[in-house]
């Protein structure tokens, strides 16, 4: 217990990453229909309808042709008696297309013929998200979302785009990501930081990581990612702050204008923060009782 290796134990009930579908599937369970939910499960009335109501709907109608609208018994005309509706969800894969911006330049024919100077008027056009780049706002957002939300590394995105018929090197995708973070998302980050400091309850923690290709530092150097988030009273704000050390000056600077309760794990570096009341973590306290 004192000198042995320690690690977080995996919950044996946790589903495997690779065979989740096989472990979860149950062929004996029937998928409920709208009628089943509506009439037989009154406590969950219209559950599927509520799930689908915010999605755009495309209606495809199937009718008999005029030649087919003839009764097979007497030969009389058929009329529309009722309808049967089946709903299904359709997933539209991502598409890559070229958006060409063409703006027109105008001049005066009279001035061209009779005046010394001719005024030139150019139509307005949105500025590019990156000057001189193929990147559009949607392409940049898609790249960053795929990496940081869906967990798809840039080298996989490079191959993914090749299957769409376009070759964009991962280095270019990396440039888009960095430029978007520093130029556009930084504005959102700073505004979120301002709102975070206005709260009266915050949580903070830090964790180690290694950063490759950092100037004047070997790849084996230990760095720290500091995490700050708000409580559960409102829409949560979660911010990361990368620093090379675990020094207490970093949270002191980040929370310089904060006054309130700070929920932490007992690390002494948080004691240097002025104007806050430190609140201990029950999870960390419970671990000691568990060990005992």
Beta carbons of 15 and 23 less than 8 angstroms apart: yes
- How many Å is the maximal CA-CA distance in the chain? 97
Residues 6+ apart with CB under 8 A from 67: none
Residues 276, 62: Cα–Cα separation, whole Å? 67
Q: Which helix (H) or strand (E) holds 55?
A: none
Q: Which helix (H) or strand (E) holds 229?
A: strand 223-230
Q: What is the pLDDT along the chain (292 residues), one digit of tens a residue?
A: 677 776 655 555 554 555 656 566 666 766 655 554 444 444 455 677 777 888 889 999 999 999 999 999 998 999 999 999 888 888 888 889 999 999 999 999 988 888 888 889 999 999 999 999 999 999 999 999 999 999 999 999 999 999 989 999 999 999 999 999 999 999 999 999 999 999 999 999 999 998 888 889 998 899 999 999 999 878 899 999 999 999 999 999 999 999 999 999 989 999 989 989 999 988 888 888 888 8
Beta carbons of 286 and 292 less than 8 angstroms apart: no
Altogether, the residues listed in the chain come to a count of 292
Give the chain's end-to-end CA distance (angstroms, integer). 11
The residue written with tokens 């070229």 in the block is: 98
Q: Where are the alpha helices (DSSP H) in 164-264?
A: 170-180, 186-197, 249-254
For the entire predicted model, the pTM comes to: 0.70
């Amino acid at each position: 217990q004192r000198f042995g290796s320690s690690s977080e134990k995996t919950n044996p009930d946790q589903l495997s990453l690779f065979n989740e579908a096989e472990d979860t599937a149950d062929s004996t369970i029937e998928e409920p229909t709208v009628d089943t939910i509506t009439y037989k499960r009154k406590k969950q009335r219209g559950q599927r309808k509520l799930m689908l109501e915010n999605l755009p709907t495309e209606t495809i109608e199937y009718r008999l042709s005029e030649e087919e609208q003839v009764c097979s018994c007497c030969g009389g005309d058929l009329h529309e008696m009722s309808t049967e509706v089946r709903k299904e969800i359709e997933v539209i894969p991502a598409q890559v297309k070229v958006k060409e911006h063409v703006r027109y330049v105008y001049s005066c024919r009279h001035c061209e013929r009779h005046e010394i100077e001719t005024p030139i008027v150019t139509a307005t056009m949105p500025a590019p998200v990156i000057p001189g780049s193929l990147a559009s706002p949607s392409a940049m957002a898609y790249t960053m979302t795929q990496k940081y939300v869906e967990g798809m590394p840039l080298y996989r995105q490079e191959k993914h785009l090749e299957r769409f018929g376009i070759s964009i090197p991962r280095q270019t995708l990396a440039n888009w990501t960095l430029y978007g973070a520093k130029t556009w998302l930084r504005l959102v980050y700073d505004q979120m930081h301002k709102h975070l400091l206005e709260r009266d309850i915050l949580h903070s923690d830090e964790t180690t990581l290694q950063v490759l290709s950092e100037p004047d530092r070997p790849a084996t150097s230990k760095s720290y990612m500091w995490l700050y988030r708000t409580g559960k009273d409102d829409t949560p704000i979660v911010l990361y702050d990368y620093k090379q050390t675990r020094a207490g000056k970093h949270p002191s600077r980040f929370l310089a204008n904060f006054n309130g309760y700070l929920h932490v794990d007992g690390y002494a570096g948080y004691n240097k923060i002025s104007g806050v009341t430190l609140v201990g973590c029950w999870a960390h306290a419970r671990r000691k009782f568990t060990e005992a």
